[in-house]
Amino acid sequence: MNFTEESRTIRHLESSAMADIIFLLLIFFLLSSSFILRTEIPVNPPKSTSTVTQDEQPIVITITKEGETFVDQDKVEFTGLATALGSRLTDGSTKAVVIRGDESISLKRLVETMDIAREVGAEKIAIATEQK
């Protein structure tokens, strides 16, 4: 009896198996990474010893020391803040607003911003600080 041994070489990789592996790695890295709210708008927030974390993703209003106002990453005039914030509150599922202000902004501007947020429907308002 003559048996010929056929070589069993892999001539191609199963693409579905490779896609599964890549998908599982992607899920692993997405779930294991931490998501931190960082913006490119430079502000120096006031320092605080107490901290509270948000459960939901809030709408962020940023006020720079020059007086520029941003809703999330979009620059808006302060006179148009109510319109921009109101549209985001009605479009999104969140009713939480965080105000990131430079420590040198006036208290008057902060109170005006909080009043506008309440008027357009914000249910939770917080002021962002850095830990001492």
Burial letters 27-62, b for 16+ CB under 10 A, else e = eeeeeeeeeeeeeebebeeeeeeeeeeeeeebbbbb
The proportion of the chain whose per-residue pLDDT surpasses 70, expressed as a percent, equals 79
pTM above 0.75, yes or no: no
pLDDT confidence of residue 131:
77
Give the pLDDT score at 84.
92
- Phi, psi for 3 (deg, rounded to 5): -110, 125
Chain segment 24-60, per-residue pLDDT in tens:
898 888 777 765 555 567 776 777 777 666 667 889 9
Domains and CATH numbers, the chain: 47-131 (3.30.420.270)
Segments of the chain scoring below 50 in pLDDT:
none
